[in-house]
Amino acid sequence: MKTLKFAVLPGDGIGPEVMDVAIDILQAAGQRFGFALEYETADIGGIAIDHHGEAFPESTKAVCDTADAILFGSVGGPKWESLPPKEQPERAALLPIRKAYSLYANVRPGLLYGELTDASPLKTERIPEGIDIVCIRELTGGIYFGQPKATTTLENGESQAVDTMVYKTSEIERIAQVAIDTARSRGGRVCSVDKANVLETSVLWRKVVTEYFAKHAPEIELSHMYVDNAAMQLARDPNQFDVLFTENMFGDILSDEMGVICGSLGMLASASLGATNNQLGHPYGLYEPSGGTAPDIAGLGIANPCAQILSAALMLRYSFGEEEAAQAIEKAVRDTVTGGVRTGDIAFGLDTVDTKTMGAAVLRSL
């Protein structure tokens, strides 16, 4: 029997609560589709600071090093907000883990089921069938990582800060390939988002993307859009997009906007794929909900576990090649949520749910 070996990093806040549910679903999927789970749990984020003095300790890295994928919860919370910015869980855990495993491709499905259009802040007539798009965001380059990055004091005593936005051809080409692969599995359209009217990095981005698509994927319909327009178009008519494809900072902002129009952070999963393959020949990846640790509801047992469950499904798809099991989990979540909404049994999304009840309902649907 095939064994799936992964690291489990629940993190802080609602992380451990929703992670428990996701593991139950994975176990059930394994029984149905014939695979075994071998996972090790380790501290990350605030809890790792408390236990080990740092957000991404060596002991956690060692667990991730021997795994084929990472199932991640979320990190951070009020308890650690007074730490210096560099030591705070998000910055000291998430950015190093992305770097450590070259997690350069963030794949974020923006999905709102047609039955649930009321959950979106957009008018239902704009999204009669719901929303179904994917955002592909470059994750290890651009302004978040470019050097120099510093604050200095000028001769006249005032402060000056600089961040550097930098991209090279190879970084753009490898993420372009992810956009192509994604479009091939969906509607065959990619909209590349940049700011080529003012940024040098965007001029290069547009040139490299255009040439790469022409050479490697002439069948994919490629368009380009400035980021300010893309932000407007997402709010106006999201389904004009199939695959939204962009660099790190633009993707950070646009994917959050996409999350909002899809109605609920509690439903949105994400995959961050690495540059190297795991022992099974699939991309090493980190899989996590799009939301954070939800300190306002942590410990109450009312967090929506669907984003974590759907992240586990993405792990099955990308890092373990278990497409059938991934689709079965996605269908079980859909049936549970839409069925619950129809019968009024299960409150949806950010309106909070009973975490365990919802997990049990997904299990029954699987």
Token output for 188: 């065959």
Exactly one of 24, 195, 242, 284 is catalytic; name it. 195
Q: Which residue's Cβ lies closest to ligand NAD?
A: 292
Residue 167 annotated to the active site: no
By CB under 6 A, the residues from 10 to 49 that bind ligand NAD are 14
Taking each helix axis from N to C terminus, what angle separates 306-318 and 323-343, rounded to the nearest 10 degrees? 160
Name which of 259, 351, 362 is nearest 310 in CA terms.
362
Question: Is residue 268 part of the contact set for ligand NAD (CB under 6 A)?
Answer: no
Shortest Å distance, C-beta 335 to ligand NAD: 19
**Binding residue for ligand NAD, selected from 77, 109, 130, 142, defined by CB under 6 A:** 77
| Subset of residues 335 to 364 that bind ligand NAD, contact rule: CB under 6 A | 350, 352
User: Is 20 marked active-site?
Assistant: no
Among 196, 265, 312, 341, binds ligand NAD (CB under 6 A): 265
Residue 296 interacts with ligand NAD (CB under 6 A)? Answer: yes
292 scored as a contact of ligand NAD (CB under 6 A):
yes
Task: Mark the segment that binds ligand NAD (CB under 6 A) among 156-164, 210-218, 287-295, 337-345.
Answer: 287-295
Please answer whether residues 311 and 289 qualify as being in contact, where contact means their C-beta atoms are separated by less than 8 angstroms. Answer: yes
Is-catalytic flag, 144? yes
Total residue count of the chain as it appears in this document = 366
Q: Does 90 bind ligand NAD (CB under 6 A)?
A: yes
168 carries an active-site annotation: no
Strands 70-74 and 103-112: unpaired
* Active-site choice (61, 99, 144, 356): 144
The site map against ligand NAD for 142-181 (x = CB under 6 A) is ----------------------------------------
Query: Is 256 noted as a catalytic residue in this protein?
Result: yes
Cβ proximity to ligand NAD: between 11 and 283 the closer is 11
Which residue's entry shows tokens 């049994």? Answer: 345
Site string (300-339) toward ligand NAD, x via CB under 6 A: ---xx--x--------------------------------
Q: Residue 223 forms beta bridges with which residues? A: 191
Between 30 and 359, name the residue whose CB sits nearer to ligand NAD. Answer: 359
Closest separation in Å from C-beta 255 to ligand NAD: 11
By annotation, the residues acting in catalysis are 144, 195, 228, 252, 256
